[in-house]
Structure 1
Amino acid sequence: MIIISKTRNHHNMHMYRLADMERCLFDTFDFTPVGGPCYHLYDDSAYVNSAVLTRPFRITNASKDNNVLNAEMSRVRISVKHKFAHIRSFFAFLNTSKMQRVDQCSISLYYNIGTFLKNLHICYNGGNQTSAKFDVSLPTPEQYIAGLLRQ
């Protein structure tokens, strides 16, 4: 997972370009539009559309289908942001912007470890709102760790 955090003086798009994220994403994911997986990152309208980034359709020229897609993607985007908030609620240091500086700490490593520990917490405690909503049967903590080791 790649996380870019807005700073006081710079917009997210500036940080995206500064970190050369487009190249990093092309190196990591298959963006082939035909004949294979095609991934895109979805965010708000402050970003620009590209081969990697997708943003909502403009309201002024959006069809009914586009408006439905905007609403559905917005719900998913919000649920992803809630997952980040959930991790930060467990680990307060991940919520401190002074601790999260590009090139001064491994932000992605901290979040990966936070996500791992949050997932273990969910396994030990029998689930959360997301697993209940989608009626997902959870692995035991041992099964979760074994699945990670197989990857």
Structure 2
Amino acid sequence: MADALDISSLCEDDDLMLLSTLLNEDDVKGPCLNLDDLSDEQFYSFFRFQRNDISRLCNALSLPLKFLCPNGTRVTAHEGMLILLRRLSYPNRLEDMKPLFNRSKSELSYIANTVLDYLYIKHSGKLSNLNQSWLDEEHLQQYADAISDIGGPLQHCWGFIDGTVRPICRPSVNQKLVYSGHKRVHGLKFQSVVIPNGLIANMYGPIEAKRHDSAMLRMSELLPKLEQYMTMPDGTVFYLYGDLAYPLRVHLITPFKGAILSDQERIFNGRMSKLRSSVEWTFGKILSLFAFVDYKKNQKLFLQPVAKYYLVASLLTNCHTCLYGSVTSEYFYLSPPALEEYMS
């Protein structure tokens, strides 16, 4: 394995590192972070993961031993991950991070973006690929049972779909392209599928905020993927549930429509609407953990990788859910997979 990762080449080496080794790399520019200076509470508040889980997180994400940034800065995977987590966890300035890491603003910027690029290129497929071990027939049935066990009237509903608009700073050009008249903000839109264990099973985006959810569904080509992976050999169909913005399909169930509904139809809509709110909880968890992506004044479309920030934050939120659970997993009484199983 090479001594450092050049992000332009994106080495696929899967060698893992140990925390004790990373904290004693002498040839890496800049002093390593002294973790002993932070209490456990401070550490979790700063980085959103517990102290003993950072090494496990780096291992699961298959980070190389060291990163080599475009400006020549070298950094261990451990420190690089901490810098990215701190950058995302709060809308703080690079200037505010200098005392914590004893690095210049330019170094911190290069390091955060290098690790961000690595995670996006190597692992963004985890948010789009439905061919996962935790999405096989056995697990789909567990998700469907978890939904029906707490009052869901559908037997094979395995998750919920919805779109979210992430506000951004008003761009200097082409403002109308990303302006949502409905939300009255400039932003980018993402489509997410959330399952009862709290994980984001699928995410598509970004597209312009003005786009309708049904248009985003068509652009994502999610329905053909659902037909491929969610139709079992015996003919059983597992389907998602979405709001009125989506079309009714074999693999996508929507509420009953119309001004006049029967009592049973109203009860159905009410029960499923209550359960579908779990999607909003997951959106909220991303913003709660990584508030940087919710600070629109610093989400500048042509100056920063705005969409990449949100996608990587979503991936890290899934990792957080695997380690610590979520409101959604507690609500449905269904534990997420282990971090290593999720990332396998």
Q: TM-score, normalised by structure 2?
A: 0.33
Given the superposition, is the C-alpha separation of residues 25 and 134 from structure 1 closer, same or farther in structure 2, using an over 3 Å criterion? closer
Structure 1 counterpart of 2:320: 117
2:63 alignment counterpart: none
> Does the alignment pair 1:27 with 2:221?
no
- State the structure with bigger RCO (CA 8 A, min sep 6), 1 or 2: 2
Does residue 88 in structure 1 map to residue 282 in structure 2? no
1 CA distance for matches of 2:276 and 2:231? 21
Q: Please, which runs of 5 or more residues in structure 2 have no aligned partner?
A: 1-200
Per-residue deviation, 1:14: 0.9
Q: 1:18-65: CA deviations, max 9, x gaps?
A: 121211222222278xx5542222111111111122111125343222
Structure 1 residue runs of 5 or longer lacking an equivalent are: none
Q: Secondary structure at the match of 1:3?
A: strand
Amino acid at match of 1:47: Y
1:75 to 259, 264, 274: 274
How many residues are matched? 135
Q: Aligned residue for 1:14?
A: 215
SS at match of 1:60: coil
Structure with higher helix content: 1
Check conservation: 2:293, 2:309, Cα contact below 8 A: no
How far the C-alpha of 1:108 sits from its partner, in A, is: 6.0
Alignment correspondent of 2:338 = 144
Q: Give the structure 1 partner of residue 203 of structure 2.
A: 3
Question: C-alpha displacement at 1:134, in angstroms?
Answer: 6.0
Larger Rg: 2
Correspondence for 2:259: 60
- Matched-pair identity in %: 21
**2: CA distance between counterparts of 1:31 and 1:13?**
25
Q: For the structure 1 residues 129 and 109, does the alpha-carbon distance in structure 2 shift closer, same or farther, using more than 3 Å as the test?
A: closer
Query: Which has more strand, going by share of residues?
Result: 2
RMSD of the TM alignment (CA)? 3.5
